[in-house]
Amino acid sequence: LVVVTFDREVNVRRAASAAFQENVGRQGSFPHGIEIVTRADYFALGSRPNAYLRVAPFLASLEEYRPMLLRHLLEVKSRHWDESVRLLAAQAAARAAPLAPEWTVEVMLPALCKRALSLDLKERTGAVHMAAEV
């Protein structure tokens, strides 16, 4: 589901969604599987902002998937080489972080504050944007 919502390329997001849909259909053992398949469909994932700002917060609202999505935003997307991805990640984090307030205060914000002092410019700007949004 991380790839479904956060991959940079539309074709990869759509392929990941199709794979998830196939697994839900064949195995049926995914929590909220049908609900996810209907929300994270071909058209919803066609737009990167829609995937980050609508589909991802929906998935984060499901407790089973929230930790991995928030951790991916913090560890991977806040440091991404593409500035537009870092900005979308910050906005997505702002929509998902309130769903896990303790984790946000105890883990996310301290990590972002530490990275805000990094010598790596993309890491520093990503951390500042995400901290400001959250």
pLDDT tens profile 19-73: 999 999 998 889 999 999 999 999 999 999 999 999 999 999 999 999 999 999 9
Q: H helices of the chain, where?
A: 2-6, 10-27, 33-39, 48-50, 56-60, 66-75, 83-96, 101-103, 109-115, 121-133
pTM of the model: 0.92
- pLDDT for the residue numbered 28: 80
The overall average pLDDT reported for the chain is 95
Average pLDDT of 67-96?
97
pLDDT for res 133: 97
Q: Quote the pLDDT of residue 114.
A: 97
